[in-house]
Amino acid sequence: MKRNRVWPEWALQTIFVGPAVLAFAGIVLLPFLLSIYYSFTEWNGVSADVKWIGISNYKTILTEDSAFLYSFGFTARFTVMSVILTNALGFLLALLLTQSLKTRNLLRTIFFMPNVIGGLLLGFIWQFIFVKGFATIGELTGIGLFKLPWLGDAPTSFWGLIIVNVWQGAGYLMIIYIAALSNVPKDIIEAARIDGASRLQMLRAITMPLIMPAFTVCLFLTISWAFKMFDLNLSLTKGGPFGSTESIALNIYQDAFRNNRLGLGSAKSVIFFIAVALVTVIQVSLTKKREVEA
């Protein structure tokens, strides 16, 4: 019995939980608290003097910083469009691939593939497509859509980002929707069919309510992806032309690390956090309410 020494509970707690808590506290919690503190200061990141200036960063942001307010509006517009289109396409792909098609597995792989590539690389790929690929297709086919100055003005840059974002995210949502759709009990669908319900009626009255949990998850994912977009934004449009497609995340990055206004940047990041937390909490509680049991 000698080697079976008894470990005191506090030692076990420290060894098992300690490393995780330490990593979390040092890398996430401490910087998060510091960012709240720095948001009340003026600090350029280089010099050691951090000057307490109260809420004046927040005042500056809300009254003078039109670029930030613009980026907030841009991000909101982008999020709404991206969430609607990514979910619509992902759901349609899932409906398609829950039919017993011969090429089902191959198609699933192809639709998911853009998702495994990072936003930075996707942005560069599509920069080429928009600049050279679209121009070539435009010359060959004469279709006006391809001859637009893609990435050259504000509207086409906005839609360029949306296209890439939807292309990237739809396959991921498709996987979640497929899992949900194949869990809908067959007997309910069969009963409805015998009662003479059309495909569309069954979709609206039976399938959709039963897969509400999947909608909750997918809305949550797409909202947080779109709201926090950074990599794709940087590589595809760099926020341009003339700041017209600058997301909040990119705006914070530029102000903090390019202009060295770290205090102001911290205040923006606190506002950003509150916005993200509010939106996701509201969304989850709204869609949770609509979930039903089969």
According to CB under 8 A, which residues from 79 to 118 bind other proteins?
A: 93, 96-97, 99-103, 106-114, 116-118
Give the residue from 122, 167, 160, 165 showing the smallest Cα distance to 241: 160
Token pair, residue 99, equals: 């039919």
Question: Does residue 259 interact with other proteins by CB under 8 A?
Answer: no
Q: How far is the CB of 237 from other proteins (least distance, A)?
A: 14
Burial class (CB in 10 A: 0-12, 13-18, 19+), 123: buried
Which of the residues 121 through 140 are near other proteins (CB under 8 A)? 121, 124-126, 128-129, 132-133, 135-137, 140
Q: How far is the CB of 265 from other proteins (least distance, A)?
A: 5
Question: Does residue 179 interact with other proteins by CB under 8 A?
Answer: yes
Q: Which stretch binds other proteins (CB under 8 A): 10-18, 53-61, 68-76, 201-209?
A: 10-18
C-alpha–C-alpha distance, residues 173 and 83, integer Å = 11
Q: How far is the CB of 62 from other proteins (least distance, A)?
A: 18
Residue the block writes with tokens 């997301």: 247
C-alpha–C-alpha distance, residues 47 and 3, integer Å = 55
Give the total residue count for the chain: 294
Question: Does residue 248 interact with other proteins by CB under 8 A?
Answer: yes
Within the chain, residue ranges assigned H as helices are: 9-24, 30-38, 56-63, 66-97, 104-112, 119-128, 134-141, 144-147, 154-181, 186-194, 199-202, 208-210, 212-227, 231-236, 248-253, 262-289
Question: Does residue 203 interact with other proteins by CB under 8 A?
Answer: no
Which of the residues 23 through 82 are near other proteins (CB under 8 A)? 23-24, 26-32, 34-35, 38, 45
Q: How far is the CB of 47 from other proteins (least distance, A)?
A: 13
Q: How far is the CB of 103 from other proteins (least distance, A)?
A: 6
> Closest CB to other proteins among 119 and 243?
119
**Residue 43 · residue 262 · CB < 8 Å:** yes
> Closest CB to other proteins among 62 and 281?
281
**Residue 96 · residue 181 · CB < 8 Å:** no
Question: Does residue 225 interact with other proteins by CB under 8 A?
Answer: no
Question: Does residue 167 interact with other proteins by CB under 8 A?
Answer: yes
> Closest CB to other proteins among 239 and 265?
265
> Closest CB to other proteins among 48 and 144?
48
Which of the residues 141 through 160 are near other proteins (CB under 8 A)? none
Burial class (CB in 10 A: 0-12, 13-18, 19+), 137: middle
C-alpha–C-alpha distance, residues 203 and 1, integer Å = 65
**Residue 173 · residue 221 · CB < 8 Å:** yes
Report how many residues bind other proteins under the rule CB under 8 A.
93
Among 156, 162, 249, 254, binds other proteins (CB under 8 A): 249
> Closest CB to other proteins among 163 and 188?
163
C-alpha–C-alpha distance, residues 67 and 84, integer Å = 26
